[in-house]
């Protein structure tokens, strides 16, 4: 039985989503699914997983993956082949109970750990019912995911604000858009903790428009 964890993110915090998306690395068995807004069917979610696994989703008909059963078979095959160690599902609270049930089944079939992220104070009742028969652990914030590093050797450590900017930069994965990497790093550094004053306004001299008239 693959392990199932549910992460509660009641504030729908940018740092949670961005931090998890940063750890997306199918080649190292870490897959993060970012479901398509407004598409709630089993079929649509299977396509979301295929996209997360790095499969092209612009030729679904040609590749005969448009149907629900075919898409899920492909998902299972790719996850087993790719040795996906952990499947993270963002926006899980917006999915249907049918999708959750199928994801649990997928975890069992592929031997993959699951992390279902609910951007809500608690697991929605209809989804909690799906979990009733499955052993699961509820996490209440990123620190607990951090703590779990000892249990799971995640490919990429969580950004640690206390480590400073340079340390973060070294820890972040390399990808093709360095300006976006810098932005993410900036987001981690510049966002103040809850309850603290917001970011300071720029201190430069305002560039005044000419007051014509």
- 155 touches 23 (CB < 8 A): yes
Residues of span 72-131 touching another protein by CB under 8 A: 91, 94, 119
45 or 100: whose CB is closer to another protein? 45
The yes or no reply on residue 192 touching another protein (CB under 8 A) is no
30-33 and 86-89 beta bridge pairing: parallel
Residues of span 2-61 touching another protein by CB under 8 A: 10-15, 17-18, 21-22, 24, 34, 36-39, 44, 47-48, 51, 57-58, 60
CB of 210 to another protein, least distance (A): 8
Positive or negative, the Cα torsion across 39, 40, 43, 49?
positive
Using DSSP's 3-state secondary structure scheme, residue 88 falls into strand
The yes or no reply on residue 67 touching another protein (CB under 8 A) is no
CB of 111 to another protein, least distance (A): 26
Positive or negative, the Cα torsion across 49, 53, 59, 62?
negative
Which CA distances in Å does 17 have to 1, 142, 147? Answer: 27, 10, 18
- Of 184, 117, 106, nearest to 144 by C-alpha is 117
Give the interface size with another protein as a residue count (CB under 8 A).
48
- 158 touches 145 (CB < 8 A): yes
The yes or no reply on residue 196 touching another protein (CB under 8 A) is no
Per DSSP, 122 falls in state S
51 or 134: whose CB is closer to another protein? 51
36 or 136: whose CB is closer to another protein? 36
Residues of span 136-165 touching another protein by CB under 8 A: none
Joined tokens for residue 106? 């997928």
Q: Which parts of this chain interact with another protein (CB under 8 A)?
A: 10-15, 17-18, 21-22, 24, 34, 36-39, 44, 47-48, 51, 57-58, 60, 91, 94, 119, 175, 177, 179-180, 183-184, 186-187, 190, 198-199, 201-202, 204, 206-213
């Amino acid at each position: 039985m693959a392990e199932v964890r549910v992460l509660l993110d009641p504030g729908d915090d940018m740092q949670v989503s961005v931090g998890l998306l940063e750890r997306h690395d199918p080649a190292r068995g870490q897959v993060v699914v970012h479901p398509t807004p407004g598409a709630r069917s089993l079929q649509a979610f299977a396509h979301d997983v295929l996209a997360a696994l790095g499969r092209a989703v612009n030729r679904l008909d040609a590749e005969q993956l448009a149907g629900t059963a075919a898409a899920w078979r492909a998902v299972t095959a790719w996850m087993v082949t790719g040795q996906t160690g952990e499947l993270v599902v963002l926006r899980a609270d917006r999915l249907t109970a049918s999708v959750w049930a199928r994801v649990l089944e997928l975890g069992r079939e592929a031997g993959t750990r699951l992390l279902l992220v609910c951007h809500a104070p608690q697991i929605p009742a209809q989804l909690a019912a799906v979990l009733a028969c499955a052993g699961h652990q509820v996490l209440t914030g990123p620190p607990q995911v951090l703590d779990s590093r000892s249990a799971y050797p995640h490919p990429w450590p969580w950004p640690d604000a206390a480590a400073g900017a340079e340390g973060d930069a070294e820890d972040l994965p390399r990808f093709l858009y360095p300006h976006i990497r810098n932005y993410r790093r900036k987001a981690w550094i510049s966002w103040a903790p809850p309850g603290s004053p917001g970011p300071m306004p720029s201190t430069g001299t305002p560039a005044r428009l000419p007051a014509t008239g």
